[in-house]
Structure 1
Amino acid sequence: MQNYSPYYLLLFVCMGLMFLNALKKDKQLVHYLFVIFCGSLCMVAAQKLSAQSIGAYQYLIGLFTCATCNVSWLIARTLFREHSPISRRHVAFAATIAGLIMFNQTWHYLVSLDPQPLPTSDIMWRLKQGVNEVTILLSSSILALSFWEAFRGYSKKTQSQKMQSVIFGSAWVLAVFNASIFPKFIFSAAEIELYNPIIITSSALLIVFAMQGVMLLQAITTNKQKLHHNSKSKTAFDTDDVKECCDSVHHQEQVPPELIGGIAELMNEQQLFLQTSLKISDFAQALKVPEYKISRAIRYHYKVANFNLFINQYRVNYAKTLLASEQAKEWSILSIALESGFSSLATFNRVFKDIVGGIPNEYRKRKRKRKGNYNENIRAC
């Protein structure tokens, strides 16, 4: 007889991590995806635990297990890609897999209610077998893509990023090996069925803990960079900025024209501001100059107080273009925020309001109203 207690462990761990990330104040895209992923694993555990007691209705719970491997791939892209990690085609691909899983669960539900709920033609059964094969193929492919995302561009990563890739990739390899290969070597078919709850739970938790671990490491790295940047900014202010504030014209003359041209190229042509985690060190590395020279150029040539405000002004202007664009009129505010280089909707709303004076949704409505009035005036003429 199977021991179902591992499923309780999976349920409670995933539920705890789901609420932990859902209640986080400054949530980013990866936190929303991780909440969905954990919620789907909770449904996997709930379906397994309730199968004997509720019978066919377990497949209704199974409808909500459609966000596992597909959403884990989206999480992998978000964790290891800085610029535009998710587009509409990625969401469409993940949604296709979700739809196939929901089709399978619906089929099992109908068959469980009535031995012949559907036409007896072999066409329907062949369709079911075809959908099963396609689902397995796409799920296997997306697992490979998740592993590839972690190690893409490995040689160019920092030591911290390499460690994150190793943690994530190793967890995936161990989970797949533990779920599909290892049991066949040491267990018989009957024993595999007996130990299936332990196999499924241990494999799922390997991936869950790896994702949460990488998210924590990235948060720690981001906080360290902020503290380092603030410390350097404070030191620079204590030693140089008082003098510079008193003689800004002199410093403006010291900003090399080629540096201004380099910054303009990075912002206007390469649109570097669309990168979510852009730092002043990225500019310094691209232009091969010290960071303080970038900071000085921004203050005295562009007349902007600091690097973050400089980048956010470009992002907000880009977002304003999207909000007023016909091509993006069906896009959500979150999609526009991510496309404009912001890491979360909360940050986008706050920065947009500080710079423009209102929230993005109000700006979009105002632009549409003005455009509608303009079109009416044209028709009247």
Structure 2
Amino acid sequence: MQNTSPYYLLVFVCMGLMLLNGMKKDKQLIHYLFAVFCGSLCMVGVQKISAPSIGVYSYLIGLFTCATCNMSWLISRTLFREHKPFSMVHIAVASTIAGLIMFNQTWHYLVSVDAQIFPDSQFMWRLKQGMGEITVLLSSSILVLSFWEALRGYKGKTRTQKWQATIFASCYFLAVFNASILPKFLFSESEFQQFEPLIITSSALLIVLAMQLVMFLQKRPNPCVTASAEIEEVNSERAVQATKKVEPSENREIEPELTKGIEALIIKQQVYLQTNLKISDFAQALAVPEYKISRAIRHHFKATNFNLFINQYRVKHAQMLLLKDEASHWSILSIALESGFSSLATFNRVFKSSVGINPNEFRKQNGSLAEQKLIELAD
């Protein structure tokens, strides 16, 4: 008989992480996805624990285990793709896998209660076999894609991003190896049944904790970046105070190529739509020191600092989205993320400071004049 105690650990950890992310004040897309993923793993544990006592009804609990590998794929895309991590196509693929998992659980339940849905039982068996093969194929492909998302464009990542990608990919590989390959070398069929709870629990927790760690590292402020931002703010204030004395000479020192490069990054590449954009990213893209970027922003573009410079374009982009018919069903959070803001609270604060009203009020007030407002914003 199996020892189901490891599944209690799985349920306890996943339930805690689900509540932790679900109760965050400034929730982002990744927190919603991760909470659903943890909830699905909780149901996996509950199904395994309850199976000996409730029998065939455990398959009904299995209906809620449909957001495991498919949801981990969406999470990996969100973690390692800053702009538009997934589209309707990706959601459709994930939903298809969820539907197949629910079909398999339903089929097991109907067979267990000896329900005669189809006159020809052979048809039902062939249908189940076909659906099972498709589920295995899609699930295996999704696991590979989830692993690949972390390593995609590895050479172009920063040192911090490489560290996060390495943690995720290593844990993901070890979890899959531990669950599917290693047991075949270590255990016989009967031994595998005995150790299955420990194998499943350890593999699932390895992936869950790796995701949570990467989320924490991405949210945690970099001390060097914070210090650099504070220094930039101080320098900006000093520059404003000394504008009358230094502005003419500094304007002459700003190369036209530099301002054109900044304009190209903003207008053509729309880099302001990237979250966590820093002045060092501009300096690296244009191969110039950061102080030159800061000076050009202050004196040529007339912005007090880099954050205000970038946020004015993000707010303008958000205004256009709020007025477009095709985005009328989008939530304010979606508008914020699409405009490059990392959280809803920051978006609301910056938007109201710039426009004078919050995004919801802007959408309501300008709904009837959307076309005219869009023309004004485009100009």
Give the TM-score normalised by structure 2.
0.90
CA distance in 2, matches of 1:283, 1:140: 39
CA distance in 1, matches of 2:330, 2:189: 50
User: What is residue 377 of structure 1 aligned with on the other side?
Assistant: none
- 1:151-190 maps to which residues of 2 (within 5 A)? 151-190=151-190
Superposed CA offset, 1:24-68 (max 9, x none) = 333332222211111111111111111122223222221221111
Q: Which sits farther off after the overlay, 167-176 or 351-360?
A: 351-360
Once the two structures are TM-superposed, the CA of residue 248 in structure 1 deviates from its matched residue by 4.0
User: What is residue 363 of structure 1 aligned with on the other side?
Assistant: 362
User: What is residue 214 of structure 2 aligned with on the other side?
Assistant: 214
**Compared with structure 1, are the counterparts of its residues 119 and 353 closer, same or farther at alpha carbon in structure 2 (3 Å cutoff)?**
farther
Q: Which sits farther off after the overlay, 48-57 or 108-117?
A: 108-117
Once the two structures are TM-superposed, the CA of residue 238 in structure 1 deviates from its matched residue by 7.8
Q: What SS is found at the alignment partner of 2:19?
A: helix
Amino acid aligned to 1:181: I
Contact 1:29 / 1:344 at 8 angstroms: preserved in 2?
A: no
Unaligned runs of 5+ in 1: 375-381
**Compared with structure 1, are the counterparts of its residues 69 and 362 closer, same or farther at alpha carbon in structure 2 (3 Å cutoff)?**
same
Once the two structures are TM-superposed, the CA of residue 268 in structure 1 deviates from its matched residue by 0.6
Q: What SS is found at the alignment partner of 1:369?
A: coil
Once the two structures are TM-superposed, the CA of residue 253 in structure 1 deviates from its matched residue by 4.4
CA distance in 2, matches of 1:46, 1:239: 61
Contact 2:294 / 2:306 at 8 angstroms: preserved in 1?
A: yes
Contact 2:175 / 2:204 at 8 angstroms: preserved in 1?
A: yes
CA distance in 2, matches of 1:350, 1:246: 34
User: What is residue 342 of structure 1 aligned with on the other side?
Assistant: 341
- 1:217-228 maps to which residues of 2 (within 5 A)? 217-220=217-220, 222-228=221-227
CA distance in 2, matches of 1:233, 1:133: 58
Q: Please say if 1:5 is aligned against 2:10.
A: no
User: What is residue 333 of structure 1 aligned with on the other side?
Assistant: 332
Unaligned runs of 5+ in 2: 374-379
Once the two structures are TM-superposed, the CA of residue 85 in structure 1 deviates from its matched residue by 1.7
CA distance in 2, matches of 1:263, 1:373: 29
User: What is residue 354 of structure 1 aligned with on the other side?
Assistant: 353
Give the TM-score normalised by structure 1.
0.90
CA distance in 2, matches of 1:344, 1:114: 51
CA distance in 2, matches of 1:63, 1:330: 29
Contact 1:27 / 1:346 at 8 angstroms: preserved in 2?
A: no
User: What is residue 144 of structure 1 aligned with on the other side?
Assistant: 144
Superposed CA offset, 1:111-150 (max 9, x none) = 3333424443533332222211111111100100111111
**Compared with structure 1, are the counterparts of its residues 339 and 88 closer, same or farther at alpha carbon in structure 2 (3 Å cutoff)?**
farther
Q: What SS is found at the alignment partner of 2:148?
A: helix
Amino acid aligned to 1:291: E
CA distance in 2, matches of 1:148, 1:372: 42
CA distance in 2, matches of 1:320, 1:64: 39
Q: Percent identity between the aligned chains? A: 64
CA distance in 2, matches of 1:234, 1:312: 15
Q: What SS is found at the alignment partner of 1:41?
A: helix
Q: Please say if 1:57 is aligned against 2:64.
A: no
Q: Please say if 1:199 is aligned against 2:199.
A: yes
Contact 1:175 / 1:204 at 8 angstroms: preserved in 2?
A: yes
Contact 2:312 / 2:354 at 8 angstroms: preserved in 1?
A: yes
User: What is residue 23 of structure 1 aligned with on the other side?
Assistant: 23
User: What is residue 38 of structure 1 aligned with on the other side?
Assistant: 38
User: What is residue 74 of structure 2 aligned with on the other side?
Assistant: 74
